[in-house]
Amino acid sequence: MRIVVKVGTSTLAHATGLMNIRRVESLCEVLSDVKNAGHEVILVSSGAIGMGAGKLSLKGRPTDMPTKQAAAAVGQCELMYAYDRLFSQHNHTVAQLLLTGSDIEDEKRRVNFHNTMFRLLELGALPVINENDTVATDEIVIGDNDTLGAIVAQTVQADLLILLSDIDGLYTADPRRDPKAELIPVVESLTPEILALAGGNGTSLGTGGMVTKLRAARIACEAGIDMVIANGVRPADIYRILDGEPVGTRFIGRKRI
Ligand code: GLU
């Protein structure tokens, strides 16, 4: 199987913005093992801005563009240094790709991206992808890594997209506000009722995060790719997801005819 795993900042870093070492180590170990089992793995990793802010001792996540971009430049190094070191321990070679919206919209650049990805996979490397936050301004930004993950999955014709987040999956209501909210294990089709569960703008931690996840689900499912939203606190759940066990919410990709 060709699997794209997207991890959010909340999975990779503590609230201080500094790396959650135990979590990142566990994630790299599981993904290395999944690769050893013969699967192809592509990691879409957030965390550049958050970890850059942590490393620069900024108070919270920066809001102005130059500081965000500066933090991303610092944090991206920190991330790749950790991935390179941790995956190397298991004899895997990482490759960094940083993209912006223009790289996806421009036909030529998208083809270049596609070709590089396929060559990296042929060479057995483990691509690690993020938005190029140091140059991505509002006009050319993809904006969030859920969407980027889905675009990557579509480009490499992945079999599965896994979004690891700070929420267990899609709920019937916002579980942070409604104690009766229930996890939806399987979504067969993205009906207006399901799309409405993303809520309005929400907060960055609440249903707001669902908007981009459902957008990603639409891209993935239309490309015939299953997508799973699961909680990143237990990276070993990836094994269970690959075994087809019910973990989080699985969106069923439209069957390709
Ligand atoms: N590219 C951003 C970062 O690395 C994260 C964007 C997102 O989490 O959706 O900080």
Per-residue pLDDT of the chain (257 residues; tens, 9 = 90+): 999 999 999 999 998 889 999 999 999 999 999 999 999 999 999 999 999 999 999 988 888 999 999 999 999 999 999 999 999 999 999 999 999 999 999 999 999 999 999 999 999 999 999 999 998 877 778 889 999 999 999 999 999 999 999 999 999 988 888 899 999 999 999 999 998 888 654 443 333 488 999 999 999 999 999 999 999 999 999 999 999 999 999 999 987 65
Round to whole Å and give the CA distance between 174 and 180: 9
Q: Is the CB of 48 under 6 A from ligand 1?
A: yes
pLDDT of residue 200: 52
The Å distance, Cα 28 to ligand 1 centre, comes to: 19
User: What is the structure's pLDDT at 257?
Assistant: 58
Query: How remote is the CA of residue 136 from the centroid of ligand 1, in Å?
Result: 11
Question: Considering only CA atoms, which of 256, 195, 186, 189 is closest in space to residue 228?
Answer: 186
Q: How many CB atoms sit inside 10 A of residue 245's CB?
A: 9
| Cα–ligand 1 centroid distance for 4 (angstroms) | 16
Distance 47 CA to ligand 1 centre (A): 6
**pLDDT for residue 156:** 96
What's residue 256's pLDDT? 62
Helix (H) and strand (E) counts for the chain? 10, 8
DSSP labels, 35-59 = HHTT-EEEEEE--HHHHHHHHTT-S
Q: Is the CB of 103 under 6 A from ligand 1?
A: no
Alpha helical stretches, state H, the chain: 9-12, 21-36, 48-55, 65-88, 101-105, 107-122, 145-155, 192-196, 208-222, 237-242
Please tell me the predicted confidence (pLDDT) of residue 208.
40
In testing the pocket of ligand 1, which one of 130, 146, 166, 212 has its CB within 8 Å of the most ligand atoms?
130
**What is the Å distance from ligand 1's center to 63 Cα?**
13
Write down the pTM of the prediction.
0.94
- Ligand 1 centroid to Cα of residue 257, in Å, is 34
Q: Which residues contact 228 (CB under 8 A, 6 or more apart)?
A: 160, 161, 162, 163, 241, 247, 248, 249, 250, 251
Neighbours of 96 (CB within 10 A): 15
Does ligand 1 have an atom closer than 6 angstroms to the CB of 11?
A: no
The finding on whether 49 has its CB within 6 A of some atom of ligand 1 is yes
Residue having the nearest C-alpha atom to atom 6 of ligand 1: 144
Out of 11, 67, 145, 204, mutate this one to test ligand 1's pocket (max ligand atoms within 8 Å of CB): namely 145
Locus of tokens 């990836």 = 238
